Amino acid sequence: MTDISNPSHLRQMQSAYLDQARRRRLYGALTLIIFLLLLLPGFHLADSRNAGGFWNGIGHVFDYPAAVLSEAWAKRQELPGHLVKFFPALVETINIAAISTLIGSIGGMLFAFLSVRGLACWPRLVPLFRRMMDIMRAIPEIVVALVLIFVLGGGPVPAMIAITLHSIGALGKLFSEVAENADPKPVEGLASTGASWSQRMLLGVLPQVAPNFLSYALLRFEINIRASAILGFVGAGGIGYELKNAMSWGQGKFDAAAAIFILLFGTIVLFDQLSSSYRNRLVKGDWQ
């Protein structure tokens, strides 16, 4: 052991530590600088590949919102009519998100239980189920949706399947992380009474993890509403599809676009608030 009462030792240690700290700080600063230096040419490159330049466009960012808003204001007495007219499309978008979240949660739960060591029904197949979840997570929703639109035709079903698959992968990963930390004692207790695998999962694990699962599922629902609106824009039904149509009509029909913007904005904010307040209650545990 080093004698720290000896001042020369102490000085040595101090300078070694300071050197190390300085070096680490230098590396950190260098990484940050390289990073920032990468961003600038990156933006420059992206700008040069863009149809309209950044500096030309920056002045016109508010042109479109201003045109939409002024036209919507001029025709404000027609706005309630539009809101009513596009409401069914909004319901479809919400339905796509809800059903995908529902099936995605059930599927994700199944995958999570099958891919946690100690809980899995077939322990040898754990890596297989994990890779399946990875692939479901990795395939972007738009790929599945576009291929399915080609086969099944436009409408809500391709979007539903695409978002469901992604939700199973994404929720499965989060759920399995929660289930890994579940207390094994109830499961062992149930196993000693001769309970089957599904009974052990439903009665032993699920009650422990339900609040966390529900909270993740609600977060997924928020994400899925946005995703289903976006998929509508590429042809899969719902409010996104109406938005695309309203936009292609161009000037003179901006009031319809404005109505859709309002509906979409309102829905997203509403469900964000609802789910975040409910999630807060779930996490604090005072919801019963």
Contact residues for other proteins, defined by CB under 8 A:
35-36, 39, 42-43, 45-47, 49-54, 57-58, 60-61, 63-65, 92, 95, 98-99, 102, 134-135, 137-143, 146-147, 150-153, 155-157, 160, 226, 229-230, 233-234, 240, 243, 247, 261, 264-265, 268-269, 272
Q: Minimum distance between the CB of residue 63 and other proteins, rounded to whole angstroms?
A: 7
Q: What angle do CA 169, 153, 93 make, to 5 degrees?
A: 55
> Of 99 and 195, which has the nearer Cβ to other proteins?
99
> Of 172 and 240, which has the nearer Cβ to other proteins?
240
Taking the C-alpha atoms of residue 213 and residue 191, their distance in angstroms, rounded to an integer, is 23
Closest CA to 136 of 118, 116, 110: 110
Taking the C-alpha atoms of residue 66 and residue 164, their distance in angstroms, rounded to an integer, is 37
Buried b / exposed e over 57-84, threshold 16 CB at 10 Å, is: eeeeeeeeeeebeebbeebeeebeebbe
> Of 6 and 224, which has the nearer Cβ to other proteins?
224
Q: Minimum distance between the CB of residue 236 and other proteins, rounded to whole angstroms?
A: 11
Q: Minimum distance between the CB of residue 155 and other proteins, rounded to whole angstroms?
A: 7
> Of 52 and 194, which has the nearer Cβ to other proteins?
52
Q: Minimum distance between the CB of residue 99 and other proteins, rounded to whole angstroms?
A: 5
Taking the C-alpha atoms of residue 221 and residue 218, their distance in angstroms, rounded to an integer, is 5
Q: Minimum distance between the CB of residue 231 and other proteins, rounded to whole angstroms?
A: 8
Residue type, 282: L
Q: CB–CB of 118/249 below 8 Å? A: no
Q: CB–CB of 209/175 below 8 Å? A: yes
Q: Minimum distance between the CB of residue 49 and other proteins, rounded to whole angstroms?
A: 5
> Of 6 and 177, which has the nearer Cβ to other proteins?
177
